[in-house]
Amino acid sequence: MKFKLISALSAIITIACTPGNKPSVSSEDWGSADAKPVHLFTLTNSNGVTAKITDYGGIIVEFYAPDKNGKLDNIVLGLTSLDDYLAGHPAFGCIVGRTINRIGGAKFTLDGTEYTLAKNSLGKHNIHGGVNNFASKVWNATTASDSKSATLSLTYLSADMEEGFPGNLTVKVDYVLNNDNELRISYTATTDKPTVVNLSNHSYFNLTGCKENVLGHEVRIYADAYTPTDDELIPTGEIVPVEGTPYDLREWTRISDRLAELPKGYDNNFCVGGMPGDPVLVAEMYEPKSGRLLQTYTTQPGLCFYTAHGMKMNRSTPHGVPYTSSMGACFETQHYPDSPNHPNFPSTVLRPGEVYEQLTIYKVGVK
C-alpha cells in the first residue's frame, strides 16, 4: 500500500471563477415525498464551485466545477425534478445504506443470529441496503456557512429491523464544500444493538459536463489488490493482486482501453487501504478536452469503481444526451462488499458504545 503514498501525484490547479465571495447555502422547496416536504440546497464556495443536494436521499443533484478555461459545468449525472427521482433511477448521487453494494444470499449472521434481508439483486442477493434504503428517505436537514466553507448536515434514524437490519441506527452525513474545491462527505453513526454499517455516496461523475460518455476519461486507482467476484458480483472472499489483470490501474489508463477484456465494464472493489482519521488519495479521473481532474480521498479500506456499462434509461441529461452505457463513472468509497459474510474482510460490525466514522473527499480542479 505504500505505492499510493510515495508515487508522483497529479498536479491539480484550483481555478477561482468568482473569487472573493463568501461561501453560502440557500434552499428552495422541491416538492414532497412520504407526505414530507423536500428541499433542494445549493452550496457555493468562494470560487463559484457549486453543489446542489436534496434532503431526499441526500442526493447530489448537480456539482459544478470549472474546466481549464474557468467555465463551470455540472459533472454528475442527475435528474431535473423530484418527480423524476421518485419515478426510479440507478442510485444517482444518493446516500446508500445501511450497506452499500451486495450482501450474498441476502443474509448474514451476527453474534449467532441470522438476519434475512430483501432479495433485491437478481432475486437472490441484497444490494444497497434493500428496497426502501437510505436513498428513498427524507432526511432532517440543517445548514451553516462561514468564510471557509458551506455545510449541509443530514440526519436520519433507521429503526430496528428496518430492511432487516438490527438496531436503531442514528446516522449523520455532513456535506461540506470548502474553498479548496473539496466536497467533503463525513459519515457518523451509532446503534443500540450490534449491527452492520457500510455507508457511501453513489454519484456518477462525468467530467465532460455530461455531454459525452466517459470512455475517453483517464483513471488512476492507487490499489495493489482487489476482491474478485463470481458471475453475480458476489465476492469470492479472495484478495488478489491487481498486477497482470485488467484491474491494474496504478498508472493512467483510458477507460475504453480495457473494455475488450471487461465486456461488462468496471464494477469491482479495489483494496485502497484507507484508515479511520487518515484520508488518503485513492483514485483520480482526468478528462483531456476539458482539463478537469477529480481526486477521491477516503478513510475507507475499499473503493468500488463502476462505469455503468449497459445502463439505459428512457430519460436524458439536461443537455439532452440519453443516459446510456458508460455515461458516468462511480467512485464508491466503502468497506468491501459482502463483508458480513467474510471474516477476513475489514469488519462492518458496529456495536453499542462505538461510533462509526468515515470521510470521503471529492476534490475538483484542472490538470
What positions carry a catalytic annotation? 202, 332
Q: Which three cell numbers, joined as nine digits, stand for 345?
A: 474482510
CA 320 to chain CA mean position, Å? 24
Backbone dihedral angles phi then psi of residue 324, each to the nearest 5 degrees: -120, -175
Q: For 22-39, give the DSSP string.
A: PPEEEEEEEEEETTEEEE
Q: Which three cell numbers, joined as nine digits, stand for 89?
A: 433511477
Please tell me whether residue 252 adopts helix, strand or coil conformation: coil
Distance CA 193, CA 257 (A): 47
| Residue 41 · residue 143 · CB < 8 Å | yes
Q: Name every residue whose Cβ is closer than 8 Å to that of residue 144 and which is 6 or more positions away in sequence.
A: 25, 150, 151, 153
Q: Scan for cell 480495457, then name that residue.
A: 258
Distance CA 337, CA 269 (A): 7
Distance CA 330, CA 56 (A): 20
